[in-house]
A and B are shown apart, each in its own frame.
Chain A
C-alpha cells in the first residue's frame, strides 16, 4: 500500500501546486490580447503530444547534477533532484500542466464578456471580478481541471520512470509497481493494485460529473 499512498500524495501535491500556477496562466491565456499568445499556448500543450519518455528524458537531463535545474537545486538545497520525490513533483507538474490549464481556459472563455464588462462598470476591480464572477461561474471548469490533473498524475508512468526511477517509498508509484509485478509474473498483486486504481478513478469521475451537472443546472439553465 505504500505505492498507493505515494501516488496519492504526489497527485494531491501536484494538483494543489497546479491550481495555484495554472489559474493565473489560464486567466492570461483567456483574456490577454498579447499577439504572441499562441506561442505560450503551444508550449503549454506540448506535454499532450510529446511521448512521456521524451519529456522525461529532458527533465532527467535538466535535473541531473550537471543540468541547469539540478545545479540550481544543488546550490540552493545541497541535493540533486533526479530520483527524488521532489523531482517527481516538479516533473509531474510540467507533465500535467495542460490538463489543468485547458479546462480553465475553456471555461473562462465561455463566460459572457458582457458579465465581465458589467462587473467593471459597476466598480469592481479585476481581482473582485475574478473572485465573485469569473471563478464561481467557472466552477465546472475548475472541478474538471482538478479531477483531470489528479487522475492524470495518479496514472502517469513514462515520466515517473525516467525521472524518478523505481525507489520504494520515494518514487515507486502505483503504476510503476503494477509494471514491476507484471514483470515478475505476480499477476494477483498487479490485479489488486490495478483494480484499486480503477475503482478510485471511476468514483472520482462519477463525483465530478455529478457535481458539474448540479452546478450547471442551477445557473446556466438560461
Chain B
C-alpha cells in the first residue's frame, strides 16, 4: 500500500544486510526535530547514510514530499551530491585547509557572488560566528567547530537535516545553546530533522517525537515521555535508565482499577503494576528506576504506595553523590539513595529494610 505523505515529510523504508547485521525499517517523519534513539550498534548511523545516499540499501524507498531519492522498485538512486540534504556527523568534519567562512561557502559555491555573500553573512550572524569567520578549523574549539559545521549544512537550505550525535562530545551548556539555535532556524525553515542520539538527556531536551531503534529495527515511536517513560521493551528499558528489570508472571488483572498483580520470579511476593497488554499467566518484565524506590527501616503504614517488600541489604557502593544499594527480596533490587539518606538511615550490608514501590513507578515491558 502506498502511503501518501503530507508536505515535506521524509519517508524512509530501508532494508539492508551487511554480514550478520540487518537493517529493516519503515517510517516517516514530519518537519521538526525527530529523535532516533537507541544503543550503539542499533544501526542508526547506517540508516542516516542510507537516507543521505552514502550507503545503498538492498531494498526500499527514500523520499521527501513524494519525490523519491531512492527507489529499489524503479531502480532509482540519486547520488548523495544531488539529494540536497544536510548531514552533520559526530565530528564536525570541517575542511582543515580553508577558513570557517570558506567551509560555509563550500555548499553554495554555485550561487552568484552577491547572493552567496548575503547567505553567508546571514548564517554567520544567526550562529554568532562573525568573529570566527576568518579562522581555520584548527583554531576553533569543539563547540565552535560544530557550530560552523551546522552553519555549513544549513546555509545550503537543505530539504532535510540528518544529525548523527553531533553534540555528544560537547558539555551541557554548549549543547543547549546549539540546540536553541537549531530550533530557531527550524522555526523559519520547516524541514524534517532526524537527530540520532543514544543520550537520554538529549532526548528530553529536544523531544518532539522519538523513534527508538535496536538491532536494526524500530521498536517504538511516539512522543518521548510516552515512549521512554513507559518502555514496553526490555532492552530499551535498560538503555533508558531503568536499573531494575524483573521477571514475573501476571496472576491477577483488575480492569476496574486499571492495575494488575505480577508475581516476581524468585519471591513469594507480588507487586501491583499498571494494567498493560498482558493476560493472566503471561510472563512479563517489570522495569523500575533505582531512584524511584524508597527504603524504610520499619514497615511503613498509611502510605499510598501499594507495594511494600521486605528485604536485606546485600551491598552498598558509593558513586559520586549517590549510594547504590542492592537489596535482596528474593529478587535483587538496585536502589539509589542520597549520601545524606544513607547516613541518616545508617545503611549497612546485612541490615533488614522495606522497599516501597509506587504502582506507577513499575513499568511493564515486553
Interface residues of A (CB under 8 A from B): 112, 114-115, 117-125, 132-133, 136-137, 218-222
Contact = CB atoms under 8 A, between A and B. Distances in A.
19 contacts: A112-B91, A117-B87, A117-B89, A118-B95, A119-B95, A120-B53, A120-B54, A120-B79, A121-B81, A121-B83, A121-B86, A121-B87, A122-B106, A122-B153, A123-B82, A132-B95, A132-B106, A133-B95, A136-B97
A177 to B, nearest CB: 43
A222 B137 contact: yes
Contact of A118 (B53, B84, B93, B138): B93
B366 to A, nearest CB: 36
B81 A120 contact: yes
B347 interface: no
A114 B52 CA distance: 13
Interface of B: 52-54, 79-87, 89, 91, 93, 95-97, 106-107, 110, 136-138, 149, 152-153, 156
B89 A118 contact: yes
Given A112-B91, A123-B156, 19 more contacts: A117-B52, A118-B89, A118-B95, A118-B152, A119-B95, A120-B54, A121-B52, A121-B54, A121-B83, A122-B81, A122-B106, A122-B152, A122-B156, A123-B82, A123-B84, A136-B97, A137-B96, A219-B96, A222-B138
Contacts of B83: 121
Nearest to A112: B93
A219 B251 CA distance: 67
Contacts of B152: 118, 122
Contacts of A221: 138
Nearest to B96: A219
Contacts of A112: 91, 93
B97 A118 contact: no
Contacts of A124: 81, 106
Contacts of B153: 121-122
Contacts of A121: 52-54, 80-81, 83, 85-87, 153
B54 A117 contact: yes
Given A112-B93, A115-B93, A219 B81 contact: no
Contacts of B86: 121
A120 B80 CA distance: 6
Contacts of B149: 118
A146 B323 CA distance: 64
B51 to A, nearest CB: 11
Nearest to A115: B93
Contacts of A132: 95, 106
A81 B153 CA distance: 56
Contacts of B138: 219, 221-222
A122 B107 contact: yes
A96 B89 CA distance: 40
Nearest to B49: A117
Nearest to B52: A121
A115 B97 CA distance: 11
A122 B106 CA distance: 7
Contacts of A136: 97
A108 to B, nearest CB: 15
Contact of A117 (B93, B106, B110): B93
